[in-house]
Amino acid sequence: MRAPMETTKKRYELISGAERASTPKHKICGAMLGKVIKVHDGDTCWVAVLLPGRARPEYLRVRMLGYDAPELKGKSLDYAKEVRDVLRKLILGKVVLLAIPPDEKDDPYGRTLGHIYVMPRDAPARAIRASRFCCFGLGSVDAPTPPGPDAKEAERVTVRGRKVEVPPTISIPGNATVAIGDMLCVNVWMADHSGSKPYDGKKGRPEWTDGELERGYFPQAPE
């Protein structure tokens, strides 16, 4: 018989072996902390969470609401890799807040529809203060030190020939009281900066034209 998990750290380390959640469809909603263990493409990731009543973390395949990234296949493959890599820089390996609206159902592929929030590296000091903040006992991470003069700046990447500044992010500290307004909504940021198309998830996926795949879906032409 497996020994009981004695510390938060041990529970947290089990995330690496998380299995896919077996919770019936449409039964999960609300906000919870989770760790992003995989970014599949520009709008889909796997988030390990510890659901109520479960002894081990399980992962949800999350389809991020609000935008549609190009597919990792065919003529859109190169573009899709660029957008996927941007999302990886924002959330991969980070503890994030996963918000699943109660009125959203899984998509046709069984993915959970939701929003993801992450902590910007330059979040106000007031956003990181001692408290007991740990959803579902998933575990915590050390609170980061306030950014100093050598703090990492935004990373510049290229998406369809356009320079995009990806803000540095950190895991949400498990011992912090964090307001939504102090966090970065990754869905909104990706919709505005990654060249992805607006998409509400309620109708068929938008079609990508050859021109959009070549230039990216940006409000303005590249500078």
Domain assignment of residue 44, yes or no:
yes
Confidence class of residue 144 from pLDDT cuts 50, 70 and 90?
very low
Cα–Cα distance, 54 to 166 (Å, whole number): 35
Contacts of 78 (CB under 8 A, 6+ apart): none
Instruction: Please choose, from the candidates 116, 213, 207, 115, the residue with its C-alpha nearest in 3D space to the C-alpha of residue 159.
Output: 213
The pLDDT score that the predictor gives to residue 127 is 59
Q: Give the mean pLDDT of the chain.
A: 76
Domain assignment of residue 60, yes or no:
yes
Domain assignment of residue 143, yes or no:
no
Residue 142 pLDDT exceeds 80: no
The pLDDT score that the predictor gives to residue 141 is 41
Looking at per-residue confidence, does 219 or 24 come out higher? 219
Q: 193 — phi, psi (to 5°)?
A: -125, -15
Q: Determine contact, residues 28/60, Cβ cutoff 8 Å.
A: yes
Confidence class of residue 175 from pLDDT cuts 50, 70 and 90?
low
Beta bridge partners of 163: 158
The pLDDT score that the predictor gives to residue 165 is 92
Domain assignment of residue 223, yes or no:
no
pLDDT digits (tens, 9 = 90+) for 32-57: 889 999 999 999 999 998 877 787 88
CB atoms within 10 A of CB 67: 24
Looking at per-residue confidence, does 161 or 1 come out higher? 161
Domain assignment of residue 96, yes or no:
yes
Beta bridge partners of 125: none
Cα–Cα distance, 192 to 185 (Å, whole number): 11
The pLDDT score that the predictor gives to residue 15 is 53
Q: Is the pTM of this model over 0.75?
A: yes
Domain assignment of residue 21, yes or no:
yes
Beta bridge partners of 33: 97
Domain with 169, as residue range(s), is 12-137+148-214
The tally of domains found in the chain comes to 1
Instruction: Please choose, from the candidates 150, 181, 195, 180, the residue with its C-alpha nearest in 3D space to the C-alpha of residue 168.
Output: 150
pLDDT digits (tens, 9 = 90+) for 62-98: 999 999 999 999 899 999 999 999 999 999 999 999 9
Looking at per-residue confidence, does 158 or 174 come out higher? 158
Q: In whole angstroms, how far apart are CA 20 and each of 39, 49, 53, 91, 114? A: 15, 10, 15, 19, 17
pLDDT digits (tens, 9 = 90+) for 91-134: 999 999 999 988 777 787 888 899 999 988 877 665 554 333 33
Confidence class of residue 21 from pLDDT cuts 50, 70 and 90?
low
Percentages (nearest 5) of helix, strand, coil residues in the chain: 25, 30, 50
The pLDDT score that the predictor gives to residue 138 is 43
The pLDDT score that the predictor gives to residue 203 is 66
- CATH code for position 43: 2.40.50.90
Cα–Cα distance, 39 to 89 (Å, whole number): 10
Instruction: Please choose, from the candidates 39, 126, 115, 122, the residue with its C-alpha nearest in 3D space to the C-alpha of residue 83.
Output: 39
Domain assignment of residue 7, yes or no:
no
Q: What percent of the chain has pLDDT over 90?
A: 33
